[in-house]
Amino acid sequence: MPIAISIVEDNDKLRGTLAKVIGRAEGFRFVSDYASAEDALAGLPKARPDVVLMDINLPGMNGVECVRKLKALLPQTQVIMLTVYEDTENIFNALAAGAAGYMLKRTPTKELIAAIREVQHGGSPMTTHIARLVVQSFQKPVAPSPSPAGGDPPELSEREQQVLDLLVQGLIYKEIADKLNIGYETVHTYIRRIYEKLQVRTRTEAVAKFLQR
């Protein structure tokens, strides 16, 4: 089945260009587009796309808030932020809201198409620059804060940190296994431990939780 795509973008020219690119790409099906978050929230539950390309700077409600509301309505729909913003605050807010990927509008068409395929297969695509910013955020010294229970915050082992870094960069489990020269099931074990330590259930929640530390 072709991947159904919707676009939320207030720039008419860009929205039209993206629609044409997606409509011509093999294995894709363009289903709807919206110029505002409000229109998107009204129309997307009916269109039920597999993947949504979402701008941040929209008139009225911004794209990050739209993602938060959309994930409550369509939890299985994957969202890729497609924006000009490349600061860590916007990246973190988008991931925390439920976005599975973060790409810049200057991304070449070929890479954007690949990113859509990747997110549909469980990946979290990010441009190299964005991934580096996220990793650098991990590496900044952060003063430890007590957990709600009063104990120390959970610490990841060196290997768990390596796995999490690769998750952030958008690698899927098999790619992580190949990169670290470990077994596929071993990757699953590490990710389960990471989720347990950070008390999360998804990749996006893990990234958001670690950025908040």
User: E strands within the chain?
Assistant: 3-8, 28-34, 51-54, 78-83, 101-104
Between helix 184-198 and helix 158-168 the angle, nearest 10°, is 100
pLDDT tens-digit map of 132-146: 776 666 555 444 444
pLDDT in tens, 20-78: 999 999 999 999 999 999 999 999 999 999 999 999 999 999 999 999 999 999 999 99
Of 70-79, 144-153, 164-173, 186-195, the one with minimum mean pLDDT is 144-153
Please state the length of the chain: 213
Element at 46 (helix H, strand E): helix 37-47
Q: Specify the 3-state DSSP secondary structure of 75.
A: coil
Residues with Cβ < 8 Å from 148, sequence gap 6 or more?
Answer: none
pLDDT at 152: 54
Q: Is 79 within 8 Å of 54 (Cβ atoms)?
A: yes
- Structural domains of the chain ordered from first start: 3-136 (3.40.50.2300), 141-212 (1.10.10.10)
Tell me what percent of the residues of the chain surpass a pLDDT of 70. 83
Do residues 101 and 125 lie in contact, with contact meaning Cβ atoms separated by under 8 Å?
yes
